[in-house]
A and B are shown apart, each in its own frame.
Chain A
Amino acid sequence: MNSPSEQKTAVLLLGCPQVPVQTGIALYLISALRKRGVRPTVAGNRAARLLVEVSDPDRHYVGEVMDIDRYVGELAEKKRDFDYNFAFIHNDAGITYAATVQALSEGAMVVLVYGEHYEEVAAEIEFPCEKILAKAVHNPLPLKKKIDEVLNWVVSNL
């Protein structure tokens, strides 16, 4: 992580991209973080990473992209950490990755829970974190609205 005088950093933990809103919301969050002076990195599996990279071919928004298992390894070996972890969750595997990062990282954990069964998925989360919840599957606007409501608070208070 950075010292207080340096730029804050965030990592977006992307899971399986089977819910359509994930890539659009990830790019929106990257943009919103940059506007607030936070440098974002994307960590995901191959499909999630490729969707983000193909959606921003000239890299106007996307910066560093890394494999999510490599990030977990570097966290466990204390080689890398971020000020903020934003975990995208729509199923049990997403909870598993977020719980792993929460246990290893000294940064703040914010989870974005979406999808058809977002309430049931959110109820399974037992680790400490800030939650942004919305029933968003194809339409990203409910989740975008929630991000707009809380991101300033998240970036300035966590």
Chain B
Amino acid sequence: MNYDILLRDASFKECREYIRSHFQEYYDVEPGFVLFEKHMIGVPPITIGLSGDVVIFPYTKPCYGTFLLRLECREEADRLRALKSGKKK
């Protein structure tokens, strides 16, 4: 997958605040929520941002810390909107 890294070595609080302050559309999910066919790891609530077809989300690697990633995927953005319909923050 081709992704951009928006933040490196960030805390989940920093990722959440970054998404909420930079994107108008965002949704809160619980740990274990499936995104890009993987169960999400994170300190709840995990905030996922959307900007058109772009999905912005935190991703943790045990030896490297937490990254905030930006990835374009219309299918996943549409799926998230459908799942969270009416729950937009």
Which residues of A does B touch, CB under 8 Å? 15-16, 18, 44-45, 47-48, 68-69, 72-73, 75-76, 91-97, 99-100, 103-104, 124, 126-127
Residues of B close to A44: CB separation below 8 A: 62
B41 interfacial contact with A, CB 8 Å: yes
Q: In the complex, A18→B39 CA distance in Å? A: 25
Q: Of the candidates B32, B33, B64, which one forms a contact with A93 in the assembled complex, judged by CB atoms under 8 Å apart?
A: B64
Q: Are A96 and B41 in contact, CB atoms less than 8 angstroms apart? A: yes
Residues of B close to A69: CB separation below 8 A: 38-39, 41
Q: Are B31 and A93 in contact, CB atoms less than 8 angstroms apart? A: no
Measured CB to CB, the closest approach of chain B to A104, in angstroms, equals 5
**Interface band, chain B:** 20 to 34
Q: Are B44 and A99 in contact, CB atoms less than 8 angstroms apart? A: yes
- Count A-B pairs with CB separation below 8 Å: 71
Q: In the complex, A100→B40 CA distance in Å? A: 8
Other A-B contacts than A48-B62, A72-B41, A93-B61, 4 sampled, CB-CB below 8 A, are: A44-B62, A72-B31, A97-B62, A99-B12
Q: Which of B60-83 contact A (CB under 8 A)?
A: 60-66
Which residues of B does A touch, CB under 8 Å? 9, 11-12, 30-34, 38-44, 60-66
Q: Of the candidates B9, B32, B60, B63, which one forms a contact with A96 in the assembled complex, judged by CB atoms under 8 Å apart?
A: B60
21 contacts between A and B (CB under 8 A): A15-B62, A16-B63, A16-B64, A18-B63, A44-B62, A45-B63, A72-B32, A73-B39, A76-B34, A92-B65, A93-B60, A93-B62, A93-B63, A93-B66, A96-B12, A97-B62, A99-B31, A99-B42, A100-B42, A103-B32, A126-B43
Measured CB to CB, the closest approach of chain B to A19, in angstroms, equals 11
Residues of A close to B40: CB separation below 8 A: 100
Q: In the complex, A103→B84 CA distance in Å? A: 20
